[in-house]
Amino acid sequence: MYNYYTMGGLEIQQTQSLQARQEFKLIIRLEQASLLEMPEEEFNKLIIEAEGSPLFRKLYRKERIIHYQRYPKTDLSSHFYQLNEEISTGTGTLDIESLLADKDSIVRQIQKIGLENFKRYFLYPELGVSVEEVAQECNLELPEVEEVNNLINEFSIMSEFYHPSTLSLGRGIYYSKVASIEKRPEGFVIGYHSPSHARGRYSIDYERFEELKGNSAFSTAEGREIRQLFKRLELINSRKDTVTRILQGIVEKQAPYFESGNGKALLPFSQKELAERIGLVPSSISRAISGKSLETPGGEEKALKDFFPQPRMFRKELVKQLLETEEEFPSDEAIRAKLEQKFGVSISRRSVASLREELKIAAAWKRNKTAMQ
């Protein structure tokens, strides 16, 4: 027999459950959007705060539920190992001498333990290696191990101080230089200036967590705290994932520019095109690149937004290149044909004429008439 009240109650419950899930997804999207717009220094502080909690350390070192997973073709920038004494303007109350002394101190420690051991035990720590084992392998005292870890955290937060943006001085916009694109034997590598970014994303073993929880390894209160920590780490992952995928997309598309250093080699690239490539919405791209810059292999700093030249600007540059050569073009139609033949760019004769006029270059018959006078 059909129980109207039971079935009706179930339908209401399912509807409420669906609504709750939708509201939760909306909250997550809003949090992700807010995180994308967060200034680099605040974001790095959020990371250090999460990793500095006793709960994180327990899940990372003892229970081995959390570990780091590096992104392909990324590393810590080679600039990290160089004592850079460029001081950004507007540092406020920073103790500059103390910070530089700390930087000098960690460089000496790296030299003492060797670059390979520094990367293996501190920058990209292996899962399950205890602090005591690290001290033994690197010939350090336990307080020295803690000192190196603390200094890495400090440099993650203060990466903008050690690698200040020069774009902020002239544009009236505050920029954060987040990475350097470096040419290495294996190809272009994204060298992050912050060690916490270079380490990559958090990989969380949810199955192990459920297994340990089932064996009463955690109290009910701890279980709730752990889930809150996991949520925070996944939000941090979402921003790291987004920024890294954007940088990887830029490097892949604009490889000719990074190879040559010639601004004319920049290809037309829209945020919409990148969004489709990496499976994001354009608004996420816009939020993530705002106020961020990177350093090219040639040492030039460019805002991320500058790697998305509009197609019209690109075509105008090509028309300019053609008309600056010694080759004669009897008409706009001849220019149009040459654009398609040489660059594979197909536009109408009328568009050629419009671009030529923007460049303030006369039509062929006018140029010929002027030359004959």
**pLDDT greater at residue 221 or residue 163:** 221
**pTM of the prediction?**
0.76
Band the pLDDT of 85: cuts 50, 70, 90: very low
**pLDDT greater at residue 20 or residue 317:** 317
User: How much is the pLDDT for 161?
Assistant: 67
Say if 274 falls within a structural domain: yes
Please state, for a pLDDT cut of 90, what percent of the chain lies above it. Answer: 40
Mean pLDDT for 177-188 is: 94
Q: Do 323 and 242 share a structural domain?
A: no
Q: Do 217 and 177 share a structural domain?
A: yes
pLDDT above 60 for 23: no
Whole-angstrom distance, CA of residue 249 vs CA of residue 269: 10
Q: Do 246 and 353 share a structural domain?
A: no
Domain that holds residue 42: 36-307
Residues 204-224 as b/e (b if ≥16 CB within 10 A, e otherwise) read beeeebeebeeeeebeeeeee
Say if 68 falls within a structural domain: yes
Band the pLDDT of 22: cuts 50, 70, 90: low
Distance of CA 214 to the CA centre of its chain: 38
Band the pLDDT of 257: cuts 50, 70, 90: very high
C-alpha closest to that of 199 among 153, 141, 262, 266: 153
Q: Angle at the Cα of 24 (from 236 to 10), degrees rounded to 5?
A: 150
Q: Do 343 and 275 share a structural domain?
A: no
Say if 18 falls within a structural domain: no
DSSP per-residue codes, 234-250: HHHHHHHHHHHHHHHHH
Q: Do 289 and 217 share a structural domain?
A: yes
**pLDDT greater at residue 263 or residue 373:** 263
C-alpha closest to that of 285 among 236, 234, 241, 233: 241
Q: What total number of domains does the chain contain? A: 2
Band the pLDDT of 211: cuts 50, 70, 90: very high
Say if 27 falls within a structural domain: no
Q: Do 175 and 143 share a structural domain?
A: yes
Say if 108 falls within a structural domain: yes
Say if 22 falls within a structural domain: no
Say if 13 falls within a structural domain: no
- Domain limit, last residue, from 282, 307, 332: 307
Say if 344 falls within a structural domain: yes
Q: Do 278 and 133 share a structural domain?
A: yes
Q: Do 330 and 292 share a structural domain?
A: no
Q: Do 52 and 192 share a structural domain?
A: yes
Whole-angstrom distance, CA of residue 80 vs CA of residue 193: 7
Q: What are phi and psi of 176, to 5 degrees?
A: -115, 120
Q: Do 274 and 318 share a structural domain?
A: no
Q: Do 257 and 215 share a structural domain?
A: yes
Q: Do 329 and 300 share a structural domain?
A: no
Mean pLDDT for 157-169 is: 74
CATH number, position 319: 1.10.10
- Domain limit, last residue, from 307, 331, 357: 307
- Domain limit, last residue, from 307, 338, 362: 307
